[in-house]
Chains A and B, each alone.
Chain A
Amino acid sequence: MSEKSMTPQKQGKVDGAESKKADVLEEKSVEELQEYLEEFRTKLLDDGVLDEQFTQLQQLQDDSNQDFVKEVVDLFFEDSTKLLDQLSKEVKTEPIDYKQVDAHVHQFKGSSSSVGAHRVTEVCKSFRLCCDKEDAPGCKASLEKVKQEFALFKAKLGELLDIESKIIEKGGTLPMPE
């Protein structure tokens, strides 16, 4: 991953913990980083932040298209931010147009499942159930949950990509997920 592509990620969260983390990464050797990456990835899979769909995504990345994961994920972020904005507005309008909300949540669910954002997908599912029941408080609560999970996914994925780019930077290669 290029230095350039990393920059916007870092700008967003310049707090102590983050820079400290970056320092920690800096200190590690390529081997350690690779090990750490594996560990981190496994943890994300175990926690359900990611699922095998993300693995598939990573496997699809090859020499011809080295930034594939990043591209798709960025596309996802861009898309999602718009969708979440729209959803926030829609949930506030009275009366709620549940069909519209459901359609947007469906879209969100579709794209999150494609990038393997497992937990986001799951909360989207329960969100849709709320739409089905026309349960306004449920929808509002679901949206908050979706936002939380989305933020979590974004943060964790940022971290993962950071580690990866650090490995590349240090001249290492990325271990291929199985």
Chain B
Amino acid sequence: MKISWPHMGSLEVVLASVFEELGLEYVPAPPNSERTLELGARYGPEFACFPLKTTLGNFIEAIEAGADTLIMVAGRGPCRFGYYAETQRRILEDAGYEFEMVPLTFHLGKMPLLMRQLRRLKQSASWTSLARAVKIALSKAYLIDRLEQQALHQRYLDRDKGATTSALKECYEMVFQCDGYDRLRRVEREGFELLHSVPKTERQPIKIGIIGEFYLVLEPFFNLQVEEQLGYLGAYVERNIYLTDWLRPSGNKPIAGHHDSESEEAARPYLTHAVGGEGLHSVGNTVLFHRHGFDGVVHLMPFTCMPETIAKSILPMVSQDLGIPVLSLVIDEMTGKAGVATRLEAFVDLAHFRRRAHRQELPLAPQPAF
């Protein structure tokens, strides 16, 4: 059995380390590329969500690379994510691929089903070793998230463009290699040191928040590296979601530094009900970003995404009320990097201008942004 899964930011490191720890065979899907998207768009249904297509592309490439067991999360609505696994299974079967889809259902009423699926995946490994592997993988993911956050906060200070990014890549490697908590603690120290040691220049930042659909926020290849682009444009960047924050069922978001209920509260004047996905939090986090002195918010939205479409129709009102510029980027297979770059540039200019015109300097929080 060769297991594979779709890419989503640092998810690769987490799952690979679980299977590595358990000694199970896995085939990482080839890195996201133009071809991934092309395959996904070719087989994917018309106007299905963008992430459905890209992850479908991942699956096809993984099968080509020899995978035969595909993991996907399944669930319940109201947005489409819960039905991805089933839809993709049908599409891949129609296209004549041979594989087995294991949809992991994280839902209280479906616990026995989840246990069955996990048993199939873990094969002969024991439940305790599975739990241990998952635990350390989550610790790794938590570390990666904090390293990524650090990179977001400091990228604009790079003396040599790209230095932070390459340091971050090194960190990924270190984290992935390490086994055991002792090593992990050492890597944590080394990783942060590495990032801090990147040569810096003096620069006045502007603060930009990134909000939007979680897949698009977490997956740098398909969001056209907005984070990096913004960093190079001189922005101190913070995003509303990190992988481990997203995985937490409690709604607490220690890395982003707030609780879901806070952002729901903040959204209340504009949107009073959850609309699936990140829709409600996109609105709420815009308000929170404003409260924490951010100069602008970039909203990432896959074309046809339902929750974000709602957010997008409400955000102009928020933006007007609070006076914080919001740039909605609708991303699909046609979106060109060049076009996005120009828009980001113009947006950062606008944010700069408004900051000079309207606001006194706000002190920059050194670590968590809010």
**Are A and B part of the same complex?**
no
On A, residues with C-beta under 8 Å from B are none
On B, residues with C-beta under 8 Å from A are none
